[in-house]
Amino acid sequence: MTNIGSYHERVRDFNWNIAEKELGYNPGDTINIGWYCSDRICRMGLSDRIALYHEGFSGEERKYTFNDLRLATNTIGSFLRDLGIVPEDRVCLFMDRIPELYFSFIAGLKIGAIVQPLFSAFGDESLFVRLENAGTRAIITQRKHLAKVRKIADRLPGLEHIIIVDHRGDKELLKGEKAFSLTEATPVEEIEIFPARADSPSVLHYTSGTTGQPKGVRHVHYSLISQYLTTKWVLDLRDDDIYWCTADPGWVTGTSYGIIGPWSMGVTQCVLDSGFSADAWYRFIEKYRITMWYSAPTAIRSLMKAGDEVVKKYDLTSLRHLASVGEPLNAEAVIWSEKVYGLPFLDTYWQTETGSIMISNFPGMKIKPGSMGKPFPGIEGVVLDPKTFTPITEPGKVGLIAFKPGWPAMMTTYWNNPEKYSEKFVNGWYLAGDRAYLDNEEYYWFIGRDDDVINTGGHLVSPFEVESALLEHEAVSESAVVAKPDEVNMEVVKAFITLKPGYTPNDDLELEIMNFIRKKLSSLAMPQEIEYMDSLPKTRSGKIMRRLLHAREWGEEIGDTSTLDDE
């Protein structure tokens, strides 16, 4: 039996107070996410349950109980308070996936700070833009990233405190720098928890989008209500689960579902702080007997590329539920995962701005490979006509994905950018910036970003659909599809692909792949040009950066490449 039970019954009887009651929250009460994820779990009698299994880059293993989590977050929170950090001060977390990153996130929330997690692979200029925009007062980092912080510190007069969690004392600290060691600090048994209200700011995540400067997406403590219930019903977490979310907390998935969701439920989670390889990931699942695995389509496709045989080397029978996030999951990946793991990856759709899962394939629901699924109970989702911004009821007609505002995890503003925030709302709907259509059973099918859809001769072509079809060709390992300018049709389809081992680029193969798409989809969807690449440009979190390829084709500014994985 799944946690959600009958999807249709949940939709019919839904109220967000289901989560409020389970969390013991009454409207008007204080609601501090940090307390709910640590102290509350201990008060439930789960102090000795493992909160975190952590495996570092060099293979060292550590484990922490929920009481360890409570003490560690109290200790870090007390340290920050002693520095003078007050409620709503922005505290940036700029670390690899070490335990201190996870503990500092909870600690900052406990004292009422606005926590600003940033991906540790950011370069100094990208870091500067985000810290300047946020008016960040303190940053918690590691020695390995200190040079980047020092390079910009003089340009950030509001940045008073630079805290280094692994300073060895062998090098001089500069102005504003403080050493902090969790292992050497005296544990703090009790700390005064900031009495956050539903609308108290909690987290500030930055998203680049497709154009413009990075935008700071501000969330509030009441987002816990959405994050808790979606974790329970979509990810289907249970008391005895061992959970692995592969996302970095520099991105919203890594906080909403890599920290808040599982720990608000008192669930044990695992973190692997190392690079990707199929063997390393499968070994990790086998070693910790992971039961629920939340990952990204790019990683899943990389595992597909590694082949079926490597799977057989490991005991993965502990797995009982798989879900995917970050970009659309092509049908082939769903079918493949069911073949090799005995379980399909279930696609989930949401954004930094939404704060929690909005559309999903649910445990126990009929799965249509390639579909996004249906809206979470309590979420009113529609597809809007892009001209009139009214709901489309006709199956198969493409429009804009939109939601009725008011769910608990919805962003409350873009930091210092209310104009851009207001642009996200039209006719009483929040515009997600993506296009999709509904089928005759009201399942959502992703087409692409609103500005990614290819208009060739007045016909709309989905890059995702072409990419998914390309992946079904035996020679293609990865694919990215963008619009290429064309004098006659305005735009035509161009495909960038990497080949599997054993295949080499040649004219015959290019023609074969083109005809494969023409036959499978249509002549309109057939790439007019194929460019072979050794690797596709990706972010460090694994998303293919199609906008870089699009910009190159159209002679546009490339823009922010700070998230590019160039290793």
Q: For residue range 385-395, what is the model confidence (pLDDT) as tens digits?
A: 999 999 999 99
CA distance 456 to 72: 56
Among residues of the chain, what percentage have pLDDT more than 70?
96
Between CA 72 and CA 61 the distance in angstroms is 17
Q: Which of 384, 416, 438 is the last residue of a domain?
A: 438
Token look-up 């798989």 returns 322
Residues 398, 509: one domain? no
Is 120 contained in some domain?
yes
Per-residue pLDDT at 550:
87
Q: Which one, of 352, 342, 225, lies nearest residue 293 by Cα?
A: 342
pLDDT attached to residue 567: 42
Q: Identify the helix (H) or strand (E) that includes residue 298.
A: helix 297-306
- The residue among 411, 438, 465 that closes a domain is 438
| Angle CA 408–400–442, to nearest 5 | 80
76 and 198 in one domain?
yes
Per-residue pLDDT, 460:
63
CB 102 within 8 Å of CB 117: no
**Residue at a domain's end among 438, 464, 486:** 438
In a domain, 359, yes or no: yes
Q: Find out whether 343 and 367 touch, Cβ atoms under 8 Å.
A: no
- pLDDT band, residue 209 (cuts 50/70/90): very low
Higher confidence at residue 49 or residue 327? Answer: 49
For residue 444, tell me if it sits in a domain.
no
pLDDT at 52: 98
Q: Is the pLDDT of residue 210 over 60?
A: no
Work out the mean pLDDT of the chain and round it to a whole number.
Answer: 93
pLDDT in tens, 258-309: 999 999 999 999 999 988 899 999 999 999 999 999 999 888 988 998 999 9
Q: What is the CATH number of the domain that holds 527?
A: 3.30.300.30
Residue 55 lies in a domain: yes
* Same-domain check for residues 73 and 148: yes
What pLDDT, on a 0 to 100 scale, did the predictor assign at position 566? 55
Q: Which residue type does 261 have?
A: G
Q: Domain check: are 27 and 153 in the same one?
A: yes
Q: Which residues in 532-565 are b (16+ Cβ under 10 Å) and which e?
A: eeeebbbbbbbbbbbbbbbbebeeeeeebebbbe
- pLDDT grade, residue 547 (50/70/90)? confident
Same structural domain for residues 462 and 415? Answer: no
What is the Cα–Cα distance from 320 to 345, expressed in whole angstroms? 11
CA–CA distance, 317 with 291 (Å, rounded to integer): 9
Position 565 confidence tier, pLDDT thresholds 50, 70, 90: low
Same domain, yes or no: 460 and 331: no
Q: Does residue 427 share a domain with residue 463?
A: no
Which pLDDT band, with edges at 50, 70 and 90, does 524 fall under?
A: confident
C-alpha–C-alpha distance, residues 453 and 481, integer Å: 10
User: Can you give the three-state secondary structure of 513-531, one letter per residue?
Assistant: HHHHHHHHCCCCCCCCEEE
Q: Which domain holds residue 240?
A: 7-438
- Between helix 507-520 and helix 463-471 the angle, nearest 10°, is 120
Handedness of CA 131, 355, 429, 362 (dihedral sign): positive
Count structural domains, the chain. Answer: 2
> How much is the pLDDT for 207?
84
Q: Are residues 303 and 167 in the same domain?
A: yes
Q: Are 340 and 322 in contact (CB under 8 A)?
A: no
Is residue 374 within 8 Å of 444, Cβ to Cβ?
A: yes
The model's pLDDT over 187-208, given as tens digits with 9 standing for 90+, comes to 999 999 999 999 999 999 998 6
Indicate whether 560 belongs to any domain: no
Report the CATH number at residue 372. Answer: 3.40.50.12780
Q: Is residue 262 in some structural domain? A: yes
Q: Flag the least confident range among 358-372, 401-415, 449-463, 469-483.
A: 449-463
Q: What is the DSSP string of 457-516?
A: TTEEE-HHHHHHHHHTSTTEEEEEEEEEEETTTEEEEEEEEEEPTT----HHHHHHHHHH
Is 143:167 a contact under the CB 8 Å cutoff? yes
Q: Is residue 509 part of a domain?
A: yes
One domain, residues 430 and 489 = no
Same domain, yes or no: 398 and 530 = no
Question: Is residue 555 pLDDT above 90, yes or no?
Answer: no
Residues 518 and 485 in one domain: yes
- Model pLDDT, residue 298: 81
CA distance 327 to 329: 6
- Which value, to the nearest 10 degrees, does the dihedral of the CA atoms of residues 306, 310, 312, 314 take? -120
**Rounded-to-10 torsion of CA 36, 39, 40, 41:** 100
| CA atoms of 104 and 339, how far apart (whole Å) | 40
User: Could you report the per-residue pLDDT of 44-101, keeping only the tens digit for each?
Assistant: 999 999 999 999 988 899 999 999 999 999 999 999 999 999 999 999 999 999 999 9
Is the domain of 65 the same as that of 87?
yes
Pairing of strands 161-164, 201-207: unpaired
Residue 214: closest CA among 88, 116, 148, 93 = 116
In a domain, 315, yes or no: yes
